[in-house]
């Protein structure tokens, strides 16, 4: 009588990779919903497009790499990457933007480095940066929030815009944000205003801000914050990275605001505009590309926050999470190397 042998432990918890990814996706839903509410169905279409392209692309790459296709697709990681990329790009960006971006994220950033767990850069952010540099116009033509838009975009219209072309007005109309559909993001608006000699107070007078806070973006960020807290509650992520990001961003922006409120955005604007909450909870916390130890993660998060503030304030780009995350990704192995926990029984005092 002989038995099959397996190593201990024979018990495991049932939190597996695919369920983790699935739950992260679910936690992103409130944010996605709010984003759709403010910017129309464009984001939804982009998400569907991105997910299908991501799955196809992953299947193709796995086929080429001669790996198990079904089980790998089941881990939901490609879906999450696609979702994050899709909600990061402008909702009405042409279809090929998201297709190229997704293929780049999955095929190059993820699989060329060895697939899930092996990539050094966050695939969604790497793809976002690639798109931003390759297609700057398409990537900065954001949509005006529905509440203040002259012509809110419907579902069919969105499909039409995405798959044919956007009735693109001239660059200046987009600059002024008067064509009724496209509009610069709040951070972009501020940057443009500041560079054209306006003070911060004047910049915030733009109709994209209400009471000094960005219209729509505030709610989107709050929704992602809720999703992020849910993830913390579900123990899908640890608090270190998110807290690191938000705290460093908050502290730096507060210091800047106190020192010179005329040229610096307030901490609340920093926290609730752009991709702050999305990045702090959903993007920077990607375990594959982050530091691993708890202390390391706190450092990793803080580094992202600092970089974001520096680029937002002094750099040439209005929002900086993609760059900050990628730069921090580069530093992750370095952080891991120097922030090793002391193993049991290795206390120096003995």
Partner 1 sequence: MLSLLEQIDSGTLWQSPGGIHPPQIKSLSNTRPIARLPLAQEYVIPVPQLGEQAILAVNIGDLVKKGTPLTQGQSATYLAVHSPTSGILVAVEERASNHASGLPVLSCIIQADGLDTWSLLDSHQDFQPLSNAEMLTRIQAAGIAGLGGAAFPTHIKLNPVSDIELLIINGIECEPYITSDDRLMREYSHDILTGVSIIQQLIGPKRIIFAVEDNKPDAIKAIKKALKRHPINSAQIRVTAVPTKYPSGGEKQLIQMLTGQEVPSGAIPAQLGMLVQNVGTVFAIKEAVLDGKPLIERVVTITGERATTPGNYWLPIGTPIEHVLSLSQTPKKPPQHIIIGGPMMGYILPQASAPIIKGTNCLLLPSDNEMLVEQQEKPCIRCGECAQVCPALLLPQQLFWHAQAKEYDKAASYNLQDCIECGCCSYVCPSDIPLVEYYRVAKSALREQSKDKQEADLAKQRFDARTQRLEEEKTAREAKQQQAASRRKANVTNKDNDVIAAAMARIKAKKDSSPSTQEITAENTAIAHTELAQKTDKKAQIAAALARAKAKKAQMATALNTDITSPEKAQLNANEGAITHIPVTDSPIVDKKAKIAAAVARAKAKKAQMATAQNTDITSPEKTQLNASEGSIAHIPVIDSPIVDKKAKIAAAVAKAKAKKSQMATALNTDITSPEKPQLNASEGSQRSITQTPVIDSPIVDKKAKVAAAVARAKAKKAQTTAAMQPQDRVTTENQTESSSEQTPVTDSLSIERPVLDKKAKIAAAVAKAKAKKAQAQQENKD
Partner 2 sequence: MLSGIIFAVIVLTLLALCFGLLLGFAAEKFKVDGDPLTDQVEALLPQTQCGQCGYPGCRPYAEAITAGDKINKCPPGGTATMEKLATLVGVEPEPLNQIEESTIKKVAFIREEECIGCTKCIQACPVDAILGAGKLMHTVISDYCTGCDLCVAPCPVDCIDMIPVKQTTKTWNWQLNSIPVTLLEKEKPC
Contact positions vs partner 2 (CB under 8 A): 4-7, 63, 66-70
**Sequence-distant (≥ 6) Cβ neighbours of residue 269 within 8 angstroms:** 186, 190, 212, 213, 214, 253
Least Å from the CB of residue 106 to partner 2: 19
Rg (CA), the chain: 21
Contact 105, 116 (CB under 8 A): no
State which residue, 12 or 170, has the beta carbon closest to partner 2.
12
DSSP codes joined into one string, 280-303: IIIITT-TTTS-SSHHHHHHHHHH
Selection from partner 1, partner 2, none that 70 binds (CB < 5 to 8 A by kind) is: partner 2
**How far apart, in Å, are the Cα atoms of 320 and each of 48, 283, 325?**
25, 13, 8
163 binds, among partner 1, partner 2, none (CB under 5 to 8 A by kind): none
Interface contacts to partner 1, rule CB under 8 A: 1-13, 15-17, 19-20, 71, 75, 77, 115-118, 238, 287-288, 290, 292-294, 297, 340-347, 350
Q: Which partner from the list partner 1, partner 2, none does 118 bind, CB cut-off 5 to 8 Å by kind?
A: partner 1
- Per DSSP, 121 falls in state S
Cα dihedral 54/58/61/65 (nearest 10): 160
194, two tokens:
């500041």
The distance of closest approach from Cβ of residue 68 to partner 2 in the complex, given in angstroms and rounded to an integer, is 6
Do the Cβ atoms of 105 and 126 come closer than 8 Å? yes
Distances (CA, A) of 142 to 145, 289, 309: 9, 28, 21
* Phi, psi angles (nearest 5°) of residue 252: -65, -45
On whether the CB atoms of residues 226 and 277 are closer than 8 A, the answer is no
Shortest Å, Cβ 345 to partner 1: 4
Considering beta carbons, is residue 70 or 346 the nearer one to partner 2?
70
From the CB of 118, what's the least distance to partner 1, in Å?
7
Q: Which does 342 bind (CB under 5 to 8 A by kind): partner 1, partner 2, none?
A: partner 1
Closest approach of partner 2 to the CB of residue 7, in Å: 5
Q: Please choose which of partner 1, partner 2, none residue 348 contacts, taking the beta carbon within 5 to 8 angstroms, the exact cut-off set by kind.
A: none
213 bridge partner residues: 210
**Among residues 264 and 297, whose Cβ is nearest to partner 1?**
297
Say if residues 129 and 311 touch (Cβ distance below 8 Å).
no
Q: What does 66 interact with, of partner 1, partner 2, none (CB < 5 to 8 A by kind)? A: partner 2
Closer of 37 and 113 to partner 1 (Cβ): 113
Do 328 and 120 touch, CB atoms closer than 8 A?
Answer: no
Min dist. Cβ of residue 248 to partner 1 (A) = 20
Minimum gap (Å) between residue 191 Cβ and partner 1: 35
Partner interacting with residue 67 (select from partner 1, partner 2, none; CB below 5-8 Å by kind): partner 2
- Our CB check for partner 1 shows the closer of 1 and 133 to be 1
180 vs 287 by CB, closer to partner 1: 287
Chosen from partner 2, partner 1, none, partner binding at 132 (C-beta under 5 to 8 Å by type): none
CB of 335 to partner 1, least distance (A): 12
Q: Could you give the C-alpha distances from 20 to 38, 221, 237, in angstroms and in order? A: 28, 22, 9
* Residues linked to residue 142 through DSSP beta bridges, in sequence order: 183
Residues forming beta bridges with residue 210, ordered by sequence position:
213
């Amino acid at each position: 009588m002989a038995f099959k042998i397996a190593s201990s432990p024979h018990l495991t918890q049932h939190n597996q990779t695919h369920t983790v990814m699935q739950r992260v996706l679910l936690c992103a839903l409130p944010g996605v919903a709010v984003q759709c509410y403010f910017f129309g169905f464009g984001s939804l279409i982009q998400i569907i497009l991105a997910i299908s392209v991501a799955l196809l692309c992953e299947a193709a790459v796995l086929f080429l790499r001669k790996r198990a296709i079904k089980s790998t697709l089941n881990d939901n990681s490609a879906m999450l990457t696609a979702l994050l990329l899709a909600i990061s790009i402008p909702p009405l960006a042409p279809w090929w933007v998201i297709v190229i971006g997704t293929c780049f994220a999955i095929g190059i950033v993820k699989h060329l480095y060895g697939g899930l767990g092996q990539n050094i850069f966050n695939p969604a952010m790497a793809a976002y940066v690639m798109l931003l540099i390759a297609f700057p116009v398409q990537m900065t033509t954001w949509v005006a929030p529905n509440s203040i838009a002259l012509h809110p975009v419907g579902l069919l219209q969105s499909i039409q815009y995405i798959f044919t072309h956007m009735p693109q007005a001239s660059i200046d109309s987009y600059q002024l944000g008067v064509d009724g559909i496209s509009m610069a993001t709040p951070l972009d608006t501020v940057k443009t205003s500041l560079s054209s000699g306006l003070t911060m107070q004047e910049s915030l007078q733009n109709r994209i801000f209400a009471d000094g806070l960005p219209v729509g973006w505030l709610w989107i960020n709050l929704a992602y914050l809720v999703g992020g807290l849910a993830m913390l509650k579900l123990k899908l992520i640890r608090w270190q990275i998110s807290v690191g990001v938000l705290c460093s961003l908050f502290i730096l922006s507060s210091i800047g605001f106190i020192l010179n409120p005329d040229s610096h955005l307030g901490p609340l604007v920093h926290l609730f505009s752009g991709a702050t909450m999305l990045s702090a909870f959903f993007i920077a916390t990607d375990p594959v590309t982050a530091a691993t130890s708890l202390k390391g993660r706190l450092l990793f998060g803080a580094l992202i926050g600092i970089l974001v503030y520096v680029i937002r304030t002094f750099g040439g780009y209005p929002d900086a999470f993609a760059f900050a995350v990628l730069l921090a990704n580069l530093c992750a192995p370095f952080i891991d190397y120097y922030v090793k926990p002391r193993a049991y029984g290795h206390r120096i005092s003995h």
